[in-house]
Each structure stands twice: as structure tokens, then as C-alpha cells.
Amino acid sequence: MADNLPSRYLGTPIDRNIALELVRVTEGAAMAAAPFMGRNRKNDADGAAVDSMRRSLNFVDMDGIVVIGEGEKDEAPMLYIGEQVGNGNEPKVDVAVDPIDGTRLVAEGLPGGIATVSLAERGSMFYTHVPYMEKLIVGPRAAKVIDITDTVENNLKRIAKAEDRNVEDLTVVVLDRPRHDNLLEEIRSAGARVKLIMDGDVAAGVMAAMEHRTGIDVLMGIGGSPEAVLAACAIKCVGGSMQGRLWLRDQDHEMIKAEGKVADRVLELDDLVGGDNVFFAATGITSGELLEGVRFLGEGRARTQSLVMRSYSGTVRYIDAEHSLAKLRLRREEAKADGTEAMILDKANQAEGRLPD
């Protein structure tokens, strides 16, 4: 059957909720990173999360290719762009990962760090080497009224009207960066409230799309392009809306030309992630407004909170879980001892056409 058909037609396995399998992936990454909270060891936290996420993804029933990951193959030892993940079975999917959204938040012990992963139909995720994107994100009530080419004031007026509120009641989340000085002035002049965040681009986008739960009505400003795709997956699941435009630095113009992309094109939600079956999972690392962080309870136990979504059903689940760390370690050692992990890795290596290390 044609590869470009929606993934629910690729075979029976897609009918299961892969997002529920993905939550084990994000739980593991979050618990691996959490011991480094506030220890100012950003690289160690990220390395632990990446290692855990890569290992866990091996056991998911899917034929996945990393589209949004830790960098190019020569820049990242694992979870690099184009890497094969999963056990090689159907369905064929694109994979977007951010083992830590908000690495600095975790390293400095600040709120809002999460581990996140998304899946979508093969070939449906947007990718670019341009690192930054201008974004405008709202929830379902204002999904049809945003226009990133219009002024901040006009957008806020339309959003307020769609939500049957005043502009003064809206809260806009913005990354705290010098490049946003003019944007912040426009938001404040329009009368809306501002919530500044240090990092955590994905989590902020999800919060804006879930305004009925979070109190964040809009995300505006320039953030990471990879994070835009991850956020888009969650936004599609909850019925919100998003528009983006690539934000070019001087060195990016040749890059976008080589990619054959149009610099000022408005990217709609379906441009960022297409198809009918999109899956999103996230687990809190440090407690924030979206998710509670990992809590170590003593006696070898830990508690996590996760958010799991599927666009096809529109279901959003919050999962509170308690884990036996000793048993998790034991299961990992058993997988190594009986060759299960090596077998899956070898299958993935063969699928990529490369030899195992």
C-alpha cells in the first residue's frame, strides 16, 4: 500500500495507542535526568536522558526514523537525524525527540524541564537546518483567528473576541530574550499580560494550546525550529492552532536556499506535522506549570507525572506513576544478559545499512 496514505492504513499495529508505549520512554528519560537537578551538570543530565530515551525507543513496536533529534549524525552519538529507532516492525513513522526540553532549567534546578517524544506518519514532519522560527500558538477556541503576518495588537483582539474575553484578560508566554524587546512592548501596549520564561519552548507551546487548563492563552515570539515541530504534534492532538515563519540569521540564507524553502512562507499546523495519527508524550523532570517533576520517595522508589495525547482520538491523558528503581534496573540488566537489547540494536543497524559498533 502506498507510503503516503494515513498511518492508520499501514496495518493493524497503528490501531494500538503508541503514545502509551512512548510514555515509558519519557518516564525513563526523566528519571535518568532528574538526579542531576540543580547540580549544574547540564551535559551529564542531557547525556543520561539521551541514553535512556534511545535505549527505551528500541523496544517500541515501530519502524521509526528520527526527524527531530540531537543533531546531525556527525554531531550526536545517538538520536541523530536519520537514525533508525524502534524494533523495525510496522508502522513506519517519523520520530521527534527532545530528551530534555529545558536543559538549563534542569541543571539549575528551575521549574519546567520535561522529557518529550512525538510520532507521526512517515514523511509528515517538517524539518529544516534553520535553527529558529517565529511562532504564534493558541488553543482550540482561537484556532481560526490567528494571522502571524498581522500586528500583535490585532491578533490579541481577535483571540480575546474568540475566547469571549478582554485583551486585558489574556496571558501571553514569551521566551526571555533580548530579541523580544519590541514584541514585549507591543504586547504590553495592547494591554495583555506577559509571562516570561527562561527556556522550555515545547512546554510553553503545549501550555498555550491547553489554555483551559494552564491559564496561558497565547505563545508569541522566536524559538527553536525543532521545538516548533514537537509543540505542533501536541497542538494537533488537542485541537489548537499554530503558525510559524523561519527566522533567518545572516548565515541561514544560503541554507534555506539549498533546502528549497521560501524564507517568508507562513507555515500552518499541517505544514509542521501532517496526517491523521500524531502521538505526543511528555514527562516532567523538574516541577512546572505543565507537569510535576520526578520525586524520589526513598526506599528505591520514584514518582512521575506524564502527559499523553493522540490526535486521531483527541484523547489527552495525565498519568501519575510510581516506579521501583531496583526493578527497572533489573529489567534492563536482564535485557542485556539475554541479548534482547543487542538483537534489537542489530536489527536497527541493518535497517540503516550500517554495521553494529
Bridge partner residues of 175 (DSSP)? 197
| Strand pairing report for 279-284 and 171-175 | unpaired
What distance in Å separates the CA atoms of residue 187 and residue 171, rounded to the nearest whole number?
Answer: 10
Give ranges for CATH 3.40.190.90 in the chain.
132-272
Q: How far is CA 176 from CA 130, 173, 189, 194, 220, in A?
A: 20, 9, 18, 11, 11
* Confidence grade of residue 185 (pLDDT, cut at 50, 70, 90): very high
Is 186 annotated as belonging to a binding site? no
Range of weakest confidence among 1-5, 238-242, 316-320: 1-5
Give ranges for CATH 3.30.540.10 in the chain.
7-122+278-352
Could you report the per-residue pLDDT of 237-257, keeping only the tens digit for each? 999 999 999 999 999 999 998
Is 227 annotated as belonging to a binding site? yes
Check whether 13 has a pLDDT greater than 60: no
| Residue partners of 327: CB distance under 8 A and separation at least 6 | none
Q: What pLDDT, on a 0 to 100 scale, did the predictor assign at position 341?
A: 54
CATH topology of domain 7-122+278-352: Fructose-1,6-Bisphosphatase; Chain A, domain 1 (3.30.540)
- CATH number for region 132-272: 3.40.190.90
Copy the grid coordinates of residue 7: 498511518
Range of weakest confidence among 161-175, 250-264, 276-290: 250-264
Is 205 annotated as belonging to a binding site? no
Is 178 annotated as belonging to a binding site? yes
Q: Is 263:252 a contact under the CB 8 Å cutoff?
A: no
Bridge partner residues of 218 (DSSP)? 138, 172
What distance in Å separates the CA atoms of residue 241 and residue 93, rounded to the nearest whole number?
Answer: 23
Check whether 147 has a pLDDT greater than 90: yes
| Strand pairing report for 63-68 and 84-85 | antiparallel
Is 201 annotated as belonging to a binding site? yes
Bridge partner residues of 315 (DSSP)? 310
CB count within 10 Å of CB 168 equals 11
Is 303 annotated as belonging to a binding site? no
Could you report the per-residue pLDDT of 217-230, keeping only the tens digit for each? 999 999 999 999 99
* Confidence grade of residue 328 (pLDDT, cut at 50, 70, 90): confident
Is 102 annotated as belonging to a binding site? yes
Higher pLDDT, 20 or 162: 162
Backbone torsions φ then ψ of 296, nearest 5 degrees: -90, 120
Q: What pLDDT, on a 0 to 100 scale, did the predictor assign at position 334?
A: 64
Check whether 353 has a pLDDT greater than 50: no
Q: What pLDDT, on a 0 to 100 scale, did the predictor assign at position 136?
A: 99
What distance in Å separates the CA atoms of residue 294 and residue 272, rounded to the nearest whole number?
Answer: 30
What pTM did the predictor assign? 0.89
Check whether 10 has a pLDDT greater than 50: no
* Confidence grade of residue 20 (pLDDT, cut at 50, 70, 90): confident
Range of weakest confidence among 43-52, 75-84, 178-187: 75-84
Q: How many residues does the chain have?
A: 357
Is 179 annotated as belonging to a binding site? yes
Q: What pLDDT, on a 0 to 100 scale, did the predictor assign at position 17?
A: 73
